[in-house]
Structure formats: C-alpha cells, structure tokens
Amino acid sequence: MDITILIGGAAGQGIQTIGTLLSAACCKAGYFAMAVNDFESRVRGGHSFFKIRISNAPVYASRESVDLLIALDKNTWEIHSPSLRDNSVVLADEDFSSSGRIVPLAFEQLAKETGSNLFINTVAAAAGLRVLGAGPATVQSTIKDHFSGLKEDLLEKNLDAAQKGFEKVADVLFEEQPLAHPSVPKGNLISGAKAIALGAAAADCRIGAFYPMSPATSIMQHLTDLSKRLDIVVEQAEDEIAAANIVIGASFAGARAMTATSGGGFCLMTEALGLAGMTETPMVIVNAMRPGPSTGLPTRTAQGDLRFAIHASHDDFPRFVFAPGTPTQAFEQTRKAFYLSEKYQVPAIILADQYLLDSLFLLEKPFFIDKHVERFIVTDDDMPDPGGYERFAVTDSGISPRALPCKGKALVKVSSDEHRPDGHITEDIAIRNTMMEKRRAKLPAMIEELDGPETVSPDAHTLLIGWGSSAGAIKEATDLLRDQGADIGCLLFSQIWPFPATAAEKMLKNNPDTQFIAVEMNAEAQFAGILKENTNINFSGYVLKYDGRPFTAQFIVDALKEKELA
C-alpha cells in the first residue's frame, strides 16, 4: 500500500488541522507517513494544501499522484484534479465541477448546521478518516486527542461536526482502508523545525534570539515551548542584527546561544558573523533557506544560499556549515554545531529550508540525548599564571584557551579590530599575519571532524550527487531507477564545510568511468561547483529545480530520462 492524500483550500480554512489529524491517525495505526505543508504568503485566501503519503514501507519524499483529494474550494479541484489516478476518490462540494468523480460533500453547510463554518476542518477531517477506514470510535478519539485543550462546549461541537462528516461518507468505498487494519505505531511524526529546537536544547543552548522570518520562525516557536520546562531564554529582538549580536554577547559570557533566520535575515547578520569570526566567539546560526533574492518567495523552499553561507562576511575566517536532510540529522547536527562551534571557537551555520522545517516525517527511533555536555572553557585553576592570560594566545592548533570575563583573575580582552594575543588592537604587520595564520590553523582539525556522504550503491556507473533536504527524493529516485534496471546510486552530503575532501574522494573515485549527476534546488548547481573545486571531478549532467517547490522522486526520474542520463 502506498497512497497519497491531498487536502486543499484557502488559507484560513484549517487545512493544516485536517492534515495533522489524518497524519496522526495513520501514524497511530502503524503506517509509515510523511506530510508536506504547502502554503502561500498570506493569512487568508489563495491556495494552500497539505499532502500526506502513507505506506507499509518507509517513505522519504512526497509523490505527485493523488489517491484521495479533499477539496475545500473550487480552486483545489481545478489545480489538483489532473493528478488524480483512475480510481482516486474526491470529496468536494458538487458545485465545484460536473465531473462524476466527486463524492458530494457540502463542508460549509454541514459546519453551519453545527453552529459555525469554523467547523469545516472537523467535518472534512472526519470524512477523510472514514474514507480511510476509520470507525466511529477512532474518529471520536482522534478528534478528542487533538482538541483536548478546548472548552467542553467547543469540544462537543467539534464532535458533532465530526459525526456529520462521518455519516455523509459512510457508504464511500475506497481502494485502500488503512485505518480499518491498525497495528502497532512505528514511531512519531516530527518536523525538521522541532528537531532543530530539540537538538539545541540537548546541546545545552540557554539563549535563543531571533527576529521573525519565515520559514525560520517555527524553530524559535518550538524553542520557546521548550523554555517553559528548561532553563532557556528566548528573546525576540528588534531586528536580525540585534538578534545575532545578542547571541555573540551571551556566548562571550559563557552561555551556549543560537539564532534562526532566513536568507534576507542572514544578509543582515553577516556583520555579526564577522565579529564572531574575529573575536573567535562561538555562535550557531540556522539559515532556513527560501527562494530569493530579496523577499523572494517567503513560504517556499530552496537550496540557494550554500555559497553565501560559506563566504558570508568579508575576508577569510573558518566556520562550519551543516545541511541536514532529515529530522534525525537535524537533531544530531544541531548538537554537533554547538559542540564544534565551542571547541574551535568559530561560527557554525546550519542550512535548513522550508521543506525540511515545515514537513512532517516519521521518527522511528527516539533521539539519543547525552546527559554529559562537554565544554571548552578554562578557569584560573587551569592556568599557571591567570594574571598573564592571553585570550588569543598563539598555539599550534590555532585554538586559544577560552576563559570567561569576570570569572577569576584572568582578564579577558577582545576587539573586533585585529589584535595582539592579549586582545589589544594592533596594525603590526607581523602580528596581523600571525593572527590570520592562527585562525586558519584550525582548519585541518575542523575538516577531520566532518563525516563524508551517505551512500546508496556507491560503485554504480551513475551517481546522483545531492545535499540537504533533497536527500529523501534522491534516495527514492535511485530506488525507482534501480528497480527498472538502471546501474545507479547516490551520494548525499550533509556536513558541508570546511569541505571533507578526503572523505568525499574515497567515494567519488572508486571507478574512473563513473558518471556524476548533480541534483540541487538552485539554478547554478552550487554544491556541484564546490565539489569540483575540491575534488576536480566533472559532472555529466544536472537536475536543477528553483521554482520554490521541493523535489519528488518522479520529477528526478523524469528529468534524468528526458536528458538521457539514466
């Protein structure tokens, strides 16, 4: 079984609520599931949809064909009816089309019979659950679980609305009835945004500062929720520059701190990024990529900020760049970003995107949380002469002992100007060169900290090369093509910078006849360029997408066949 449900309508009709209810019920019934949230940058109107894929086997990405369409407005029918299969079921108002495919369901009328058209989402959710095979008890328990925080009278009205939706489709036969055959749940649904917030908490993040910007805001919303139970302070600053500087100030004082923004906000943060680079102050920044330039497509997804993240701010200084592809990687790499940022006293940037942050993925294994958090801070007891402490002491590793201000006899002096080892500013030529070389001396050890790519059939003749959140679609495209007889594999990078060239070369040059294909959500194949610069491999072709919508496996397969690359 592998079915796709699409719920569409206008912003404000409760599309996300319906999708969340159906996703939760299917997950609870023991199925693998993932869900994509697609919406426009507006509060009301327009077109939004929530697409859920349910399967007996693990799923990594969304599909394009639709098996069950729940259309809350005519727009949804017109846009998505071409994606229906021959035996798909459509729940919609019969006024939307004269097509005989529609199972008539007057969502608004039924909701008003309950008391308000605000109950449209509950009517639709219950109808969807019934078509998927749910009995009345399952529908009621799903509604009660989701609306448990409501007042008693509102909960009763939602249950009444659910009953009306359930009864209207009681006789609808659907090819698959997954909810009629529940089994043990395989895990829990989680978004990439929540995984990053949990990773930050697990890394002992104590300060989160941000200025709201889609799609990064959801990370800070989850961190705010965690602050109610953990010792975390979340501050909404007056702008992105202030948010980044709050993070630097908190880190200077010894607290682990992060901020999250999107491309436009990251532009503003680059001045602070340079300050962290010069003062060797740890900081973690999440850049939730969206299409640009400027405001671009605020609620869409992209992979266009890779080279920007690697080179942001002026002059050269070391930094880490991560690009997780799954919630598990998002959790683990956020923890790693905090750890490495502090160990090497450099900024760490996490490149996420709207697709990863706003989609729901099945998490089969709980996150591992290490109660011991290693810190890299020295005290007077660690020094033979605290009075002679030098914040930027020259060492072979480039890493100077990091003491905290006002925590002992060691006097901590820093400056955004070039400085001597003791922190005082200088324009001395020899010291300037020494300090540049000291900061860059960290790079060899930093590279060794990063893992190479995840691989699927790395000895194949054709290798798809991808990074970040495209991993799921690329992996599934690889499986589809191998099932069709193609000699194809893939390499998926998530730990990007400083580029782990040695680890990558081991995978890339096993076979001199290998054909490499870059698969990226940007217009210039940015990662392919970086890979070529660092390994000198040549690409035979590219599958690029920059319309703000995520890859599907079928899109990649079709593009490869059209270009005669697979």
pLDDT of amino acid 511: 73
pTM: 0.96
70 within 8 A of 81, measured Cβ to Cβ: no
* pLDDT digit string, tens, across residues 532-555: 999 999 999 999 999 999 999 999
For the cut 80, the answer to whether the pLDDT of residue 510 exceeds it is no
Least Cα distance to 351 among 205, 458, 470 occurs for: 470
pLDDT of amino acid 253: 98
Least confident of 45-49, 51-55, 272-276: 45-49
pLDDT of amino acid 51: 97
What is the Cα gyration radius of the chain?
26
Number of Cβ within a 10 Å radius of residue 506? 13
For the cut 90, the answer to whether the pLDDT of residue 509 exceeds it is no
For the cut 80, the answer to whether the pLDDT of residue 482 exceeds it is yes
The whole-chain average pLDDT of the chain stands at: 95
How large a percentage of the chain has pLDDT more than 90? 90
pLDDT of amino acid 148: 87
In the structure, what pLDDT confidence band is assigned to residue 50 with cuts at 50, 70 and 90?
very high
pLDDT of amino acid 566: 81
For the cut 90, the answer to whether the pLDDT of residue 461 exceeds it is yes
pLDDT of amino acid 115: 86
In CATH, the number for domain 454-563 is 3.40.50.920
Number of Cβ within a 10 Å radius of residue 294? 7
For the cut 90, the answer to whether the pLDDT of residue 95 exceeds it is no
In the structure, what pLDDT confidence band is assigned to residue 42 with cuts at 50, 70 and 90?
confident
* pLDDT digit string, tens, across residues 304-338: 999 999 999 999 999 999 999 999 999 999 999 99
Cis preceding linkage at 498, omega within 30: yes
Domain limits of the chain? 2-186, 190-363, 380-449, 454-563
In the structure, what pLDDT confidence band is assigned to residue 391 with cuts at 50, 70 and 90?
very high
Classify residue 211 as left (phi > 0), alpha (psi -120 to 50) or beta: beta
Query: The domain 2-186 is classified under which CATH number: 3.30.930.10, 3.40.640.10, 3.40.50.300, 3.40.920.10?
Result: 3.40.920.10
In CATH, the number for domain 190-363 is 3.40.50.970
pLDDT of amino acid 507: 83
In the structure, what pLDDT confidence band is assigned to residue 99 with cuts at 50, 70 and 90?
confident
In the structure, what pLDDT confidence band is assigned to residue 49 with cuts at 50, 70 and 90?
very high
pLDDT of amino acid 342: 98
For residue 293, what is the DSSP state?
S
Average of per-residue pLDDT across 450-459? 94
285 within 8 A of 260, measured Cβ to Cβ: yes
In whole angstroms, give the CA distance from residue 552 to residue 535.
28
In the structure, what pLDDT confidence band is assigned to residue 508 with cuts at 50, 70 and 90?
confident
* pLDDT digit string, tens, across residues 220-232: 999 999 999 999 9
* pLDDT digit string, tens, across residues 404-445: 999 999 999 999 999 999 999 999 999 999 999 999 999 999
> In CATH terms, are 190-363 and 454-563 the same topology?
yes
